[in-house]
Amino acid sequence: MTPTEPATDDDASAIEVHLDELLQARGMTLTALAARVDITIANLSILKNGRARAVRFSTLAAICRELNCQPGDLLSYRRAGDRVNAADAEQKAVRAQARHDGDSHAPHL
């Protein structure tokens, strides 16, 4: 794909969503997150299962706010031919949890 070519469905499937790992690390349910970010459970489930074709920045920001994570903790790009590495996803969730734990005692301004 060159800079002038539109994204294809193959490009979207190369984006992996790590919402399950982040929710588990936070002890939060999909239902609770949906209520906190004001998105339907159905739409959040579509994102969680990697079937979303697009995500609004406002939705991404709200999810990151509620999970106290960075967009890179939630989404990653996998090149064609790369193998899925569950250990990498788990390690990413652990790092996000460590950031969450470190910030939990900080005052909210």
Backbone phi and psi for residue 106, each to the nearest 5 degrees, phi listed first? -75, 145
How does pLDDT run across 26-54, given as a tens digit for each residue? 999 999 999 999 999 999 999 999 999 99
pTM score, two decimals? 0.68
Of residues 46 and 6, more confidence is placed in 46
Residue 20, both tokens: 């399950």
Please list the residues that pair with 107 across neighbouring strands: none
Task: Residue 27: give its domain's CATH number.
Answer: 1.10.260.40
Contacts of 8 (CB under 8 A, 6+ apart): 1
Is the pLDDT at 91 greater than 90? The verdict is no
Range of the domain at 75: 16-100
d(CA 68, CA 46): 21
Domain count for the chain: 1
Contacts of 16 (CB under 8 A, 6+ apart): 50, 75, 76, 77, 78, 84, 89
Residue 9, in any domain of the structure: no
> What's the pLDDT at 79?
80
Residue 51, in any domain of the structure: yes
Residue 27, in any domain of the structure: yes
